[in-house]
């Protein structure tokens, strides 16, 4: 009797596990699948992301060229380059492999900007990353 109950429970749980996400290749599925990868990266790099967010929060006023802002941006830039390298080498290929079946391949700078937004970065910092990605993309 226990064996029968266990078999039925496994079937029910297995069937429900298959239907936990949206239908593949829909817009909802792409967002859901991408979010899974972004959340995993954020968990794995929580300390680095926190450090970068704290550094960028020290940007002051609207004068981007002040000595204080230039030093803060340099420190943040060094940290961002390190974490972006991990993101580009690990997470972006995973996302592109998963979404490749749907003919979708978001740009790496857009994915990184989405990660930063999800992690509570201010829009000014996110915009700087997007602008840098657009600039680099034109160079290749």
- pLDDT tens, position by position, 29-87: 999 999 999 999 999 999 999 988 887 776 655 555 666 667 777 777 788 888 989 99
Helix (H) / strand (E) containing 60: none
Rounded CA-CA distance 98/92 in Å is 10
pLDDT band at 13 (very low <50, low <70, confident <90, very high): very low
Is the pLDDT assigned to residue 14 strictly greater than 50? no
Does the reported pTM lie above 0.95?
Answer: no
Q: Is residue 21 within 8 Å of 14, Cβ to Cβ? A: no
- pLDDT tens, position by position, 86-131: 999 999 999 999 998 888 878 888 899 999 999 998 888 888 777 7
């Amino acid at each position: 009797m226990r064996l029968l109950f266990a078999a039925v429970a496994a079937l029910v749980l297995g069937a429900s596990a298959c239907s936990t996400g949206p239908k593949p290749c829909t817009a909802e599925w792409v967002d859901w699948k991408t979010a899974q990868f972004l959340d995993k990266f954020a968990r794995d790099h929580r300390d680095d992301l926190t450090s970068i967010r704290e550094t960028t929060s020290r940007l002051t006023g609207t004068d981007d060229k002040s000595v204080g802002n230039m030093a803060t941006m340099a420190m943040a830039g060094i940290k961002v380059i390190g974490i972006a390298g991990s993101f580009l080498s690990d997470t972006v290929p995973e996302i592109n492999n998963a979404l490749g079946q749907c003919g979708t391949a978001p740009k790496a700078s857009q994915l990184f900007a989405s990660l930063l937004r999800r992690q509570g970065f201010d829009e000014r910092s996110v915009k700087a990353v997007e602008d840098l990605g657009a600039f680099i993309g034109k160079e290749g």
